[in-house]
Amino acid sequence: MKKHLLLVLLLQLVIWSCSTTKDTVRSSKDEVKATLDLVNVSNDKVKVTVKPVRITATTISYQLAKIIPGTYAIADYGRYVDDFKAYDASGKELTVTKKDVNTWTISNANQLDRLEYLVNDTYDSEEGQAFAENSTTIFSPAGTNILQGENFMLNLCGFVGYFDNQKDFTYKLTVNHPKDLVGTTALIDTDTSDTNDIFQLSRYAEVVDSPIMYAKPDVSSFSVDGMDVYLHVYSPRNKSINSQALLPDIKKMITAQKKFLGKINTTKKYAILVYITSMNNDDAKGLGALEHNTSTTATFKDDMKITELIHVISHEFFHTLTPLKVHSKEIHDFDFNQPQMSQHLWMYEGFTEYFANLFQVKEGLIDAPVFYNTMSEKLLNSRTYFKDDLSFTEMSKNVLVPAMKKQYPNVYEKGALMAMCLDVIIRDKSNGKRGILNVMGELSKIYGPTRPFDDNAFIAEFTKITYPEVGEFLQTHIVKGVPINYNEYLSKVGVSTIKVQIPVKIAFYFDNKMFLKMDEKKNVYIDAKDGSNEFIKAIGFENNDQVIELNGIPVNGEDINKLMMPVYGLEVGAPFKAKIIRNGSEKQLSGAVKLNTSEGDGFRYTDTSKQALNQLWLKG
């Protein structure tokens, strides 16, 4: 049951993340040089060469990241490194001691000229769910892919590390790549060669923050209000998913976001790197995206819906506000191997997810009832799958602890709901003149990309520039974890919580029950003795049918995540087909999708006397 519950969380909550913040360029000749060879790939491994700034100490350590900001999970990128060697200028090998999974100590370091090592990719070794309580799997959008001559997904934290006391030095990154593969990134290539790219990065944090994808050129671009956006898609199987097909919706969405953010957003170049996975055993399985300050890496499946991509990308783009412009010292000076986590995921992720939905109403992409339905689903998810009396500041600070890690996805559910309540409070107290977007704009002027706030003092600071009622909400519900009476706040804008029927996202999971079972050979069967599953009845499944295919996708009992994908996020009335074996005979089933529903509290606009403030909240 625990395994099934986790699956539901991961499928219902497309996981989003944010990354580290940038700093100004270091004015120094000190420069760490790193080279990646994507041409001479050997046994699915990329050779990396790193030359340090001059070292005077007799020993020095070199580390790859244990964790990167925004993923809230241990990665241990060092475990993908093989054949690690250190050389002096004459090519003589120096003694290297592996201190731990991410750390190598080099003796006679004052003679060190360069490091050389090989890096494996993460995509072809993913096992289980990245956000399971004790999982060691790296979430795919934070991972790496090495497919010689075809695709290289370079989250650089998986390839390049840092020396003791050289983390804040400038990095010069050189990437040698096949001529027919183009690299897309928010970085500026300073080399005009078509087989060699050179990038300058201000410090190691920017290395981590700057993904690059090399693939055959399927790149589209557009400009909006002084920002250039580049969309690169790698989709080797489904050619209908390409940059030109996605571009109109991406452009419409980002144009609306830029309008929503106004002068708060000053991003000049933004890169969207989309990898379409087969979901096979040797391919990426973690669906969603990882946000960086000026780019997004996204992993989706072949039969993705454009609406899935649009929502995820919209969430990621709002991270250009927070944590880029408003963030704590824990994020700004992130320790990649002994991290201290910030208390304020309620803002970094909760506000971001709320904005990703609110802006669609304000800019006319959806109407208010759709927004209310989305927030109703978040309410149901937050109460069904997570602790409703948990302190969000405690969860955030201790998110790497396994018991807290499994509560992390609630930042996208209850976190967004808390942001909504705060927005309403601020609108009410200001007579509609301010909302949390205005407050974030004020905070971005106080702090900004290079001035982090003090983690322990931030709630007091947030209260100081808003209202005492905001501080009371923060202390009561975010710090102490007292469950929220949503009517108390939403009634101010004419919205009530009433009992509604909310569609269940996974067709084979309903009322805390999985309607599938497996035998010892991992064959998959329908388990529907009670006849309560509306989807099963609509398609014509019967109890004990062996399931062979779902919508043309072969069923794989070895991979519960892949098994559920064809029945996740279906639309009512959409055609659905299945291949089964019943009583020894193979049969084809088909029907129109009917979803199961679950009763829960939902949000509805019921008090028209509050229309003025309601419209200022949703449209102001």
How far is 572 from 382, CA to CA, in rounded Å?
Answer: 24
Given the candidates 3.40.50.1220, 3.40.50.300, 3.10.580.10, 2.60.40.3650, the CATH classification of the domain at 31-312 is: 2.60.40.3650
Question: Residue 574 in contact with residue 592, Cβ under 8 Å?
Answer: yes
For the chain, the average pLDDT equals 91
Phi/psi for 312 (5° steps) reads: -65, -45
Residue 507 neighbours by CB under 8 Å, 6+ apart: 533, 535, 536, 567, 568, 570, 593, 595, 596
Tell me: the pLDDT tens digits for 463-480?
Answer: 999 999 999 999 999 999
User: So what's the pLDDT on residue 21?
Assistant: 40
User: So what's the pLDDT on residue 175?
Assistant: 99
- On the question of pLDDT at 347 being above 70, the answer is yes
| 3-state SS, one letter per residue, for 194-242 | CCEEEEEECCHHHHHCCCEEEECCCEEEEEECCEEEEEEEECCCCCCCC
- On the question of pLDDT at 363 being above 60, the answer is yes
* Token pair belonging to 439: 């407050």
How far is 473 from 425, CA to CA, in rounded Å?
Answer: 9
Confidence of residue 307 (pLDDT cuts 50, 70, 90): confident
Exposed / middle / buried, residue 417 (Cβ in 10 Å: 0-12, 13-18, 19+): buried
Given the candidates 1.10.390.10, 3.90.79.10, 1.10.443.10, 1.20.140.10, the CATH classification of the domain at 326-502+600-619 is: 1.10.390.10
How far is 357 from 359, CA to CA, in rounded Å?
Answer: 6
User: So what's the pLDDT on residue 10?
Assistant: 44
Exposed / middle / buried, residue 255 (Cβ in 10 Å: 0-12, 13-18, 19+): middle
Given the candidates 3.30.450.20, 2.30.42.10, 3.30.70.1140, 3.60.21.10, the CATH classification of the domain at 505-595 is: 2.30.42.10
User: So what's the pLDDT on residue 608?
Assistant: 97
Phi/psi for 330 (5° steps) reads: -60, -30
Tell me: the pLDDT tens digits for 531-573?
Answer: 899 999 999 999 999 999 999 888 877 766 677 878 988 889 9
User: So what's the pLDDT on residue 376?
Assistant: 95
For the chain, domain boundaries: 31-312, 326-502+600-619, 505-595
Q: How many residues does the chain have?
A: 620
